[in-house]
Amino acid sequence: MSKITEQFIRKIPKTDLHLHLDGSLRLSSLIEMAKAEKVKLPSYEEAGLNELVFKPKYANLGEYLAGFAYTCGVLQTLENLERAAFELAEDSYNEGVRYIEVRFAPQLHIARSKEIEPVVRAVFQGLEKAKKQLNASKAENDMPFEYGIILCAMRRFNRHMSPYYGRLFSHAGKTGHRYIYARASLGLVKEAVRLRDEGLPVVGFDLAGEEAGYPAIHHQEAFEYAHQNFLRKTVHAGEAYGPESIFQAITGCHANRIGHGTFLFSEEAIKLKSIKEPGKYIGQLSEYIANQRITMEVCPTSNLQTIPEFQTLEDHPLQLMVDNGLSVSISTDNRLVSHTTVTKELMLCVEHLNLTEHQFRNLVLDGFKRSFFPASYLEKRAFVRRAINLYDGLAKLHLD
């Protein structure tokens, strides 16, 4: 692996399939938006925010998530949503990323607009504007830039997280929180399918948020609706809970991909007492995932920042995933919050894992192959072939 350099990684075509809009703003833009929208920040200097909020290392998940109060706070106007999406596409393109799937929870960004559609359209407009500008200036032998949009439901929320959620609680009467969470998910997925059918590149439906105590199965009706309407599905699972959460995502929610999947191989993380042979259960689960090509969206830096038992990437199960033949794509999760890029994430893999050049190639190209590409299968195949040809040409030039 010594032949693989940062220069090579920057040149090759890359993807970012697990990319949160509200965690990936430019820091300068966050400050500018906060001043304009009168959102109070702990500091209005980049150095101050990096010291107080967006740290290189976080003490726990709560500290990691604290910054989202500020990013979501400024993303309450359609103009700021469009700008953030445009800049995210531009930043990704500038480091050689040629396909991104931007995920966000529209219901968190509904303040002045009372509907989901304008929020999604604002993000679409930013991404589409960036795509047209970037592709108009690309080199003749380069790949075009493409993108998809994934709408995120939340496992749990409260009335103070957005006016939209506040209205849900106020109209819910005596129904329990679990019903309200499920109702929000179903409403969102119906909008996702409708907007997809109207021509927007809404390519998937996701479930994010607090995992322990809030199982994905509570949102089964929403995922069944997505499944019946041919909308692809990804679920944050195995990030803060054990293998059973991943099992539930792929069986009860029909997940095509898994966000993180960090505790897939952890026997200690299994909580269900009905699982009498944890080793056998994990073996069968991982084999099923490998055979079905259910892709793991792995975000190394984010996991190192939020999971205390992971001190270095050697502690992470990524090597096990690769060695067991799983389909794995490397992503950033949150470019701002984790101070990262796809290039940095792939360099981490080169520096800390024992990967062959073929395994590294798979890590890169599986992002193209397992994407929820917003066009026909034949168009996707042509796009993937361009990525393969470009990668192999660069590898021959730099690695042979």
Going by pLDDT thresholds of 50, 70 and 90, the confidence category of residue 167 is: confident
Q: Could you tell me the pTM of the whole model?
A: 0.96
Which residue from 190, 191, 189, 171 is spatially nearest to 180, judged by alpha carbons? 171
Give the SS3 label for residue 370. Answer: coil
Which residues touch 350 (CB under 8 Å, ≥6 apart)? 1, 4, 9, 360
Going by pLDDT thresholds of 50, 70 and 90, the confidence category of residue 56 is: confident
| Beta carbons of 255 and 205 less than 8 angstroms apart | no
Which residue from 229, 92, 205 is spatially nearest to 150, judged by alpha carbons? 205
d(CA 237, CA 263): 9
Neighbours of 177 (CB within 10 A): 14
d(CA 355, CA 286): 20
| Beta carbons of 343 and 10 less than 8 angstroms apart | yes
Is there a catalytic annotation at residue 239? yes
Q: Nearest-5° angle of CA 91, CA 95, CA 99?
A: 75
**Structure-token pair, residue 317:** 């199960």
Of 128, 211, 239, 345, which one is the catalytic site residue?
Answer: 239
Cross-sheet strand order for the sheet of 257-260: 14-20, 97-104, 146-154, 202-208, 232-237, 257-260, 295-298, 328-330
* Residue count (the chain): 400
pLDDT of 120 strictly over 70? yes
For tokens 């393109």, what's the residue? Answer: 93
Going by pLDDT thresholds of 50, 70 and 90, the confidence category of residue 113 is: low
Q: Where are the beta strands (DSSP E) in 225-286?
A: 232-237, 257-260
**Can you give the pLDDT at residue 290?**
98
> What average pLDDT does the chain have?
95
The string of pLDDT tens digits covering residues 282-308 is 999 999 999 999 999 999 999 999 888
**Can you give the pLDDT at residue 1?**
53
Going by pLDDT thresholds of 50, 70 and 90, the confidence category of residue 59 is: confident
| Beta carbons of 373 and 382 less than 8 angstroms apart | no
d(CA 337, CA 262): 19
pLDDT of 173 strictly over 80? no
Across 383-394, average pLDDT = 98
**Can you give the pLDDT at residue 309?**
84
Neighbours of 137 (CB within 10 A): 8
**Structure-token pair, residue 103:** 């995920």
Across 163-174, average pLDDT = 83
**Can you give the pLDDT at residue 170?**
86
Neighbours of 36 (CB within 10 A): 12
The string of pLDDT tens digits covering residues 247-272 is 999 999 999 999 999 999 999 999 98
All domains of the chain in start order, with CATH: 6-398 (3.20.20.140)
